[in-house]
Chains A and B, each alone.
Chain A
Amino acid sequence: MARQGLIGRIGIAAVLVLTASACGTDSGSRPTPPQAALDGVGPITLATGKDTSGNLQNQIDGWNSAHPDQRVSLIELPENADAQRQQMVQNAQTRSDTYAVLNLDVIWTAEFAANQWVVQLPEAEFPLDKLLPATVETGTYFNRLYAVPTNSDGGLLYYRKDLLDAAGLTPPKTWAELSAACAKVLPANPGTSCYAGQFEKYEGLTVNFSEAVNSAGGAVVGPDGKPTLDTEAARKGLEFLVNGVKSGEIPGKARTFKEEEGRRAFQAGELVFHRQWPYQYLKAAATDGSSAVAGKFAVAPLPGLTGPGSSTLGGHNLAVSAFAKNKKTALEFIKYLSSEEQQRANLEKSSQAPTWAALYDDPALTARFPYLPTLKQSILGAKRRPAVVKYQEVSTAIQNAVYDAMGGKGDVGGALTGLQARLSELTK
């Protein structure tokens, strides 16, 4: 008995010493973030939002049949972006190796990189020069590559071609032209409203506000990472939205629109102009009776204050979790998914906007997806949203200010002054 007790005590002591030394090495290696070698080959997982395209499993099957020893299994997270991010963050906070490859929204890169939840990727191993430059930029943080863009997204102006043609108009390039077009078209079309975007209090509002500010020639956050909302351009941008609601050009109910509510309104023929992502194109063009505007609409670049506007950049990037075991396989799998061949197949099957620049000029593809040239123009001129670590707080502050201003609470100047102060605090 005594001997067993002694052995037990020695064992415990040994464990304690080992744990202590393990802790020591851990905290010692923390401050230096060298570019860790990405090694480890074997099965991995891909964590992504619900695959609405239906093509992702095909792509994974293609990889798995070529790499039977490095199988990829798909982990589908909820469709809601906040819920996806929440699960990925929790997974990272518990240092779990469940997720290997993460499909990150473009706005999450800074947060995930700064928290060291994803590893730095070797730039030389990816054909970054073949991708649209704006999309590659969204995968970088402090000039280091943390994520590789696999699909992009840019806002388009959907417009009722039939109504504009009947009035002898071309799609508007400026906000003034947009108002003038509505003034001409609306009297003959009761029950139709002029313009809508995504104006519910959520990420979509941040997108639409940034877009308005960019399209007036301003920026929400300058190149130095500091907010620039005390400018005339920012004022004009917010005024476009606020005055639109005031004058009724933006219908009041657009303040409850997320993507889908707006899509239903456009498809029901309630809107002349609609700011929306490319995914609406195929749905609004459906001829199965679900869309009242099939064959009656077209897309154009977003309008701006004095000329064409500039979109907010959307899309998704693939990154490797810092806690994944088989990082080498993860890296190779990202190369596979971002290759021209896979992006082309994905575009054909799911109409998701690729990041491979050449695909936008492919005649076979542009014939099938007539919006591609407009979309390329939109993405090339698109601005990214603020690349700050506290992005969620920044976005929430923007939503608070803009939502209240559009609801007629306070004035534009006051909203921007308050927002400028709040963002300065969050980005200092």
Chain B
Amino acid sequence: MKLDMAIEELHRSENHLVTVLMSMSDRHKTDHEVFYVCRDMAKWSRQHVADLAAIGRDFGLDLDPEASEDPGPLAAVRQRASELMGRRSAPGLLLLADLRHLYREAAGTSVDWELLAQGAQGAKEKELLDLAERCHPQSLRQTRWANSHLKVTSPQVLAS
């Protein structure tokens, strides 16, 4: 059985998503919707990391339940820099790049949840399947937001 590998990989990618979302949020402090929505979505991934660490124990894994995040001062510097950059045109391109990156990371994580759910169903691991069914929709919502926000932002940035 290789379910442990799948759990470990998901733990890694959800952990990475927390970092991606939080640093993206800090970089776009002046874009208030991006700032708050990214933070709200990071909460989901943080919870997923904790849930995966908890269930990982049943599969002989020792995973960290706390998502590894950037230290506070670095986040503060990013936010300050974002405030100084303000609403010039360059942050628009940066936002597109960040959204594109987030979309790819979240889509990868979402596929991993799909794999884990299929594996759990095949191995009749009820608890693992429940977890996947609970977390996968949130992972999809992260992807969908990145995609829809790309649509909202790109015309203004690319056509100006």
A and B part of one assembly: no
